[in-house]
């Protein structure tokens, strides 16, 4: 089953967003 390919660092997400010209989905979560 496919899964969402989450980035775990903001800097990596920003670099990809600029390179791929896509907006960022930023999810703040609580694992508990």
Partner 1 sequence: MGAVTYPDANVTEFVNNRMIPVRLLSDAQPYAKDFNIKWTPSIITLDESGTEHHRIVGFLPPEEFIPAMMLGIAKVNFDLDRFNEALTELEKIIAEYPKSKATPEAIYLQGVSGYKSTKDPKPLKAAYEKLHAEYPDSEWAARALPYRLIS
CA torsion, points 8, 10, 12, 27, in degrees to nearest 10? 50
The answer to whether the beta carbons of residues 23 and 13 sit under 8 Å apart is: no
Q: Name the minimum Å distance from CB 27 to partner 1.
A: 5
Kindly identify the residues of this chain, within the stretch 1-32, that bind partner 1 according to CB under 8 A: 1-10, 12-14, 16-18, 20-31
For residue 18, the minimal CB distance to partner 1 (Å) is 5
Residues that bind partner 1 (CB under 8 A): 1-10, 12-14, 16-18, 20-31
């Amino acid at each position: 089953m496919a899964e969402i390919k989450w980035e775990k660092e903001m800097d990596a997400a920003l670099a990809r967003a600029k390179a791929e010209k896509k907006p960022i989905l930023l999810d703040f979560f609580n694992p508990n």
